[in-house]
Structure 1
Amino acid sequence: MFRVARFQPLKLITQNIGSSVHLKLSFPRTLEFAQLRKSWLSSLSLVGDQNIILMGPPGSGKTTVGRIVGHKLGCHVIDVDDDVLETSWNMSVSEKLQDVGSQQFIEEEGKALLKFSASGSVISLSGSNPMHAASMQHVKKNGIVVYLDVPTKDIIDRLDLIKIDRIVGQDSGMSMRDILQYRKQFYKKWYDIRVICESGLKAEAVANKVLDAVRRHQDSDSETYISTRCIRSEACEQKGSIKCFTEAAIEGLASDGGLFVPEKGLPIFTAGEWKSLVEATYVERAQIILERCIHSADVPAFKLGEIVELAYGKNFACSKIVPLRHLTGNQFLLELFHGPTASFKDLALQLMPHLFAYCVPKRCNYLVLVATSGDTGSAVLDGFSRLSDTDKQRIAVITFFPEEGVSQIQKSQMIGCQRENGWSVGVKSDFDFCQTAIKQIFTSSDYSGFLTAEYGTALSAANSINWARLLPQVIYHASAYLDLVHQDIISFGNPIDVCIPTGNFGNILAALYAKRMGIPIRKCICASNINNVLTDFIRTGLYDLRGRRLMQTLSPAIDILKSSNLERYLHLIAISDGQLVTQLFSDLEKEGRFQLQKDLLEKLQQDLVAGWCSEEDCLAAIHSVYSTTGYILDTHSAIAKVVADRLQDRTCPVIISSTAHYSKFAPAILRALRIAEIKQNPLSQLHLLSSYSPLPPVHNGLLKTLKETEKQKHHICAADVNIMMAHVETVIQKHFMKIF
């Protein structure tokens, strides 16, 4: 495994072990000595000559927690207020603050900290230390900074209890809530580890969480990824099939044709931790969830924060990123289409390219290959076009889509999203062929080896087969549940159902992962169109492609028969049985079918129910919802609405994933609304829809992209893997510098 940055193992030292520990070691009984020695060595290996530095606002418990952590480790404990500042100034902190004022206090505090040094200690910073950059850089050089993230309301209550109504930096007229929010920008610059201190958590429990978090930070090798087809053995490990996050993100697809998954599964949040995120913004929720899923050795917390803010900034039309809208009865719509390309793919693909660019080696070129049934293509092209100019010179994208298998607007959008590092290629076949061809290209070691040797270029993927693409989708399913709690529609712990229009199984898998992480999702309702292989499979356990032909529908994003991410879910419920997964998908390739054994089918049906919707019912649902609410569903969301109506039992709320903006499917929408005269030009169709003052409005980003389409062309190729390979090589020759 390799990582861009790896935390170095800490050296064992003895200089800060107190004399009391030394005396205890002098005359122990044999068993006591063995236990004490084990605990002592564990403490040494955790701390070494580094410091554990606790950071957080006043009232976060840094001093109390620091003492407990120090006691558990047998380390010297230093409180900056008492042991550094007051000793240096020969006066109390409050006296100094009254003497010099807030701004000068921060400077004086910083100067004092710059003269301070320690090793192998637990240090509790003052609440305002992080506001002085130079001193924080100084203390961070020899320590692991742990941020005690306490809910703002708890901090305010604690400060009220001890009669503190003003803190450093709080100007006249600024509320306590405002100053605490202001300070967060400084805390996030410095921490290596965040510890969520949920309401009601005792100091002892916080201290244990700190120690667990530090151990995780130290032990980067414990968070590994394996292929869904990996058969665990010594030989498996020798083949290098165990990867870190960086490698999984770069490689996309495992060399054995399987998909990467976390070897130990995803982290589980406690109910208290989830509750602490109810008041958080989408950006804050995203960073906290990703910090727990991506080790800091792969992407440090500060960098992850930058990437999240860049991904979910001004490029989303709605400030809530994924607003939750009440539709009717107990049904809610999760609007996933406010990104620049008007589909749920933006939620992952505004973030994933920046993660990818950070992870890849700086001196290597990467060509990202994507198979798309419609929405992914434009989202990938847009996302990777937002990289820095330097990154765009070494990272490029080709999207392969079925030339006649996407809507005219989707095709126009993909063509319009082509930039200097991205191209769209129409293939004279269907999506399943495009996806299978991409996998064949990836698993051809001769071809990939040739590209690396000849052009210094490696291949990767941005479909949801890439773990770095799938992971961000977990966030919005968790966020939707928290929004229901925030809106007082449910209390945390009450169950919900989710209904998701599904083709490649990635979006619904992300919801299933959110459930495993502690979100109380009862059932995931899988909604299909007439390409309903998943519906049959979930009901019977038989995945059967024999005699099936992919049908083109009004909901092209789910016109899929081979659901790639189903493999990850089967690996999950089969308790990581790579041999079983390999056999199942081998049967699918050779025989066109596989049958799930009874016990696994029972597990699957505990999570999933499924239904499908005809074209006529889809259009009728769009018309009905518009007539009764004024809201326009797209063709995929309408399918989910129909299936939810049939399968939900109405004992709990159901969240319907609205996966795309209706603007992308204007001809079908106009037909559903029973508008007789439909012009062929996509722009004319959108202008016609706008004239009806629809809710939500026509997507402005889509309008802008379509206006650029007329200036661009795209390449079309035959349904032949060799021809696609030749096109890949041509792009590499033109975009990247050849290695001689």
Structure 2
Amino acid sequence: MTFIETRGNDGSKPSEVTFSQAILSPSASFGGLYVPKKLPSLDFDFLDAHTQSHYKDLCKALFEKFDVDIDEADLNAALDRYDAFDDPEDPVPLVKIEEDAFVSELWHGPTRAFKDMALQPFGYILSKLAEKRGEKYLIMAATSGDTGPATLETFKDAPSVKVACLYPDGGTSDVQRLQMVTEEAKNEKVIGIHGNFDDAQTALKNLLASESFKAKLRESHTQLSAANSVNFGRIIFQVIYHIHSYLQLVNRSEVSMGEAVYLVVPSGNFGNALGGYYAKKMGLPIEKILISSNINNILTDLITKGEYDLTCKSLVQTTSPAMDILKSSNVERVLFDKFGPERTKQLMDDLNEKGKYILSPEELEMLREDFDADFCSDEEGKAVIASYAKKGYIMDPHTATCLKAYENLRRKSLKTIIYSTAEWTKFSPTVCEALGHKAKRDLDALQWVSEHYNVPVPKMISELFEKPIIHDTVIDKEQIEEEILKFI
């Protein structure tokens, strides 16, 4: 499989690249992204053959379909990282919460968030590629709370790799921040910035595209790559769990093979939703992908009105901070798939230059063939948390946003997979308040919910509060390049 560019080719880069080239150097022409030239297809024979496959075996089969240039031994070693999840035999549990609704719990890895599903194997593959090439890499990550901890975890002490992780100071949960600032690995630097996630991600994209920054890195014999979902190495792993969750329903006789389902995806940067879209394109029987947002509902406006308008919005901090995003990078890959490189470049240029773009009625109709969207306020989300806690299921505030979309957007009586992107422990004060108790500290909230609802707090979370702060740098966004070069 080869990869092409969402905004077309500028003549300075190859017109097509391999998978390994796309993940090592993820910045494409005109500031665009890499996408597969052609997606593989999944027929029912393939799906039937894997209804009872272990998750790792399904991953291997999907990678064969994608036909990427990764050694089989390296892929196997990367997938072995799933053995460290809570249950190696079932790293992605599917939990029934309604007769027609199932929660795919993507957070059973080391940092208790769905980013582990992609970043644990991806980190191994990227560092192994760098090591084999005899090259050194700076991996940059911008985080709204979950990518950062997962990136630091997968690359800690990795040979040939250094990591610079940017997070918005005050824009993550305390647990997410502690997961980053207590990291002890010598090859990693965590940097807080005065600003929001969009500021951090914009800085990352600008540095990825900056020839002067890359030239300065080369003086230290260092190449530049990224761990955000601008990197397709993340996306390929995010396709797999959508297929796995569907096959779990088939295996349990909840649906028959070929019966369509809805997916409900809480969305910020749209990588999770993009994985579902690619799975649908490849042949997985998905009726629609229902996008759930918080009150930073720019995705709802895009999918229901065809408008992506930053000029009338300012980012609001919510109780679902991983979705506090206005610039959703992976929407671009859907635009490319629907409308081609020329129109995609035009739309993204409009967004960069005018702060907005508007789809034609025909384009909006094409987008709505696969997507619908709704958004959920903090108070609505807390009510959902309280309601399901009474039924014995504790969910985090991002997962809670999905229930409104589940209730309001389905036009057919079909089984529905809801994606849970984080364990409740990462947002315990919000969960605690939703359950009727205000805690002064995260640690108090964790203990209260655990005791009153008989749910465990994993050791990797409880231990955070005893670790020393290693990274206390907080800077203005204009200082990011200087701070990273100082680290290198």
TM range (shorter): over 0.9
Greater CA drift, 486-495 or 416-425: 416-425
Residue number in structure 2 paired with 1:319: 89
Residue number in structure 2 paired with 1:731: 487
Residue number in structure 1 paired with 2:337: 572
Contact 1:632 1:694 in 2 (8 A): no
Greater CA drift, 317-326 or 577-586: 317-326
Query: C-alpha displacement at 1:275, in angstroms?
Result: 0.7
Q: Distance in 1 between matches of 2:50 and 2:167?
A: 39
Matches within 5 A, 1:578-617: 578-617=341-380
The amino acid across from 2:228 in the alignment is N
1:280 to 45, 53, 56: 53
Contact 2:8 2:29 in 1 (8 A): no
Residue number in structure 2 paired with 1:38: none
Residue number in structure 2 paired with 1:534: 299
Between the two proteins, the alignment pairs up a number of residues equal to: 487
The amino acid across from 2:75 in the alignment is L
Residue number in structure 1 paired with 2:123: 353
User: Structure 1 residues 578 and 407 mapped into 2: Cα distance closer, same or farther (>3 Å)?
Assistant: same
Residue number in structure 2 paired with 1:227: 5
Q: Distance in 1 between matches of 2:4 and 2:184?
A: 34
Contact 1:225 1:242 in 2 (8 A): yes
Residue number in structure 1 paired with 2:264: 499
Residue number in structure 2 paired with 1:704: 463
Q: Distance in 2 between matches of 1:250 and 1:312?
A: 23
Matched, 1:556 2:346: no
The amino acid across from 1:284 in the alignment is D
Residue number in structure 2 paired with 1:644: 406
Q: Distance in 2 between matches of 1:470 and 1:645?
A: 28
Query: C-alpha displacement at 1:433, in angstroms?
Result: 0.6
2:444 to 684, 708, 716: 684
Q: 5+ unaligned residues in a row in structure 2: which ranges?
A: none
Q: Distance in 1 between matches of 2:409 and 2:304?
A: 13
Contact 1:418 1:424 in 2 (8 A): no
Matches within 5 A, 1:71-86: none
Contact 1:416 1:706 in 2 (8 A): no
Aligned with 2:83: secondary structure? coil
Offset from partner CA, 1:145-202 (integer Å, 9 cap, x none): xxxxxxxxxxxxxxxxxxxxxxxxxxxxxxxxxxxxxxxxxxxxxxxxxxxxxxxxxx
Residue number in structure 2 paired with 1:261: 35
Matches within 5 A, 1:170-185: none
Q: Distance in 2 between matches of 1:462 and 1:711?
A: 23
Contact 2:82 2:88 in 1 (8 A): no
Query: C-alpha displacement at 1:292, in angstroms?
Result: 1.6
Matched, 1:420 2:179: no
Residue number in structure 2 paired with 1:331: 101
Q: Distance in 2 between matches of 1:656 and 1:380?
A: 24
Query: C-alpha displacement at 1:667, in angstroms?
Result: 0.6
Contact 1:661 1:699 in 2 (8 A): no
Q: Distance in 2 between matches of 1:438 and 1:637?
A: 27
1:378 to 149, 160, 167: 149
Q: Distance in 1 between matches of 2:102 and 2:123?
A: 30
Q: Distance in 1 between matches of 2:99 and 2:125?
A: 40
Residue number in structure 1 paired with 2:275: 510
Matched, 1:399 2:173: no
Q: Distance in 2 between matches of 1:619 and 1:306?
A: 40
Q: Distance in 2 between matches of 1:599 and 1:505?
A: 22
Q: Distance in 2 between matches of 1:495 and 1:700?
A: 39
The amino acid across from 1:647 in the alignment is L
Residue number in structure 2 paired with 1:436: 202
Q: Distance in 1 between matches of 2:37 and 2:206?
A: 25
Matched, 1:308 2:79: yes
User: Structure 1 residues 239 and 306 mapped into 2: Cα distance closer, same or farther (>3 Å)?
Assistant: closer
Contact 2:145 2:167 in 1 (8 A): yes
The amino acid across from 2:361 in the alignment is K
TM-score by length of 1: 0.64
The amino acid across from 1:641 in the alignment is L
Query: C-alpha displacement at 1:686, in angstroms?
Result: 1.6
Query: C-alpha displacement at 1:323, in angstroms?
Result: 0.5
The amino acid across from 2:90 in the alignment is K
Q: Distance in 2 between matches of 1:269 and 1:643?
A: 28
Q: RMSD between aligned alpha carbons?
A: 1.6
The amino acid across from 1:542 in the alignment is E
The amino acid across from 1:271 in the alignment is F
Residue number in structure 1 paired with 2:427: 665
Offset from partner CA, 1:54-108 (integer Å, 9 cap, x none): xxxxxxxxxxxxxxxxxxxxxxxxxxxxxxxxxxxxxxxxxxxxxxxxxxxxxxx
Aligned with 2:228: secondary structure? coil
Residue number in structure 1 paired with 2:475: 717
Aligned with 1:312: secondary structure? helix
Contact 2:141 2:148 in 1 (8 A): yes
TM-score by length of 2: 0.97
Matched, 1:243 2:21: no
Query: C-alpha displacement at 1:317, in angstroms?
Result: 4.6
Q: Distance in 2 between matches of 1:516 and 1:273?
A: 15
Contact 1:252 1:462 in 2 (8 A): no
Aligned with 1:346: secondary structure? helix
Contact 1:499 1:524 in 2 (8 A): yes
Q: Distance in 1 between matches of 2:330 and 2:159?
A: 31
The amino acid across from 2:271 in the alignment is G
User: Structure 1 residues 706 and 492 mapped into 2: Cα distance closer, same or farther (>3 Å)?
Assistant: farther
Q: Distance in 2 between matches of 1:707 and 1:317?
A: 26
Matched, 1:299 2:70: yes
Larger Rg, first or second structure (1 or 2): 1
Query: C-alpha displacement at 1:413, in angstroms?
Result: 1.6
Matches within 5 A, 1:53-92: none
Q: Distance in 2 between matches of 1:660 and 1:652?
A: 25
Q: Percent identity?
A: 36
Query: C-alpha displacement at 1:409, in angstroms?
Result: 1.6
Q: Distance in 2 between matches of 1:713 and 1:444?
A: 26
Matches within 5 A, 1:139-218: none
Query: C-alpha displacement at 1:650, in angstroms?
Result: 5.3
The amino acid across from 2:259 in the alignment is N
Offset from partner CA, 1:540-563 (integer Å, 9 cap, x none): 111111121000000000000010
Matched, 1:631 2:393: yes
Aligned with 1:313: secondary structure? helix
Aligned with 2:35: secondary structure? strand
Contact 2:262 2:290 in 1 (8 A): yes
Residue number in structure 1 paired with 2:233: 468
Query: C-alpha displacement at 1:578, in angstroms?
Result: 1.2
Matches within 5 A, 1:449-468: 449-452=215-218, 454-468=219-233
Runs of 4 or more off by more than 6 Å in structure 1? none
Query: C-alpha displacement at 1:418, in angstroms?
Result: 4.3
Greater CA drift, 478-487 or 711-720: 711-720
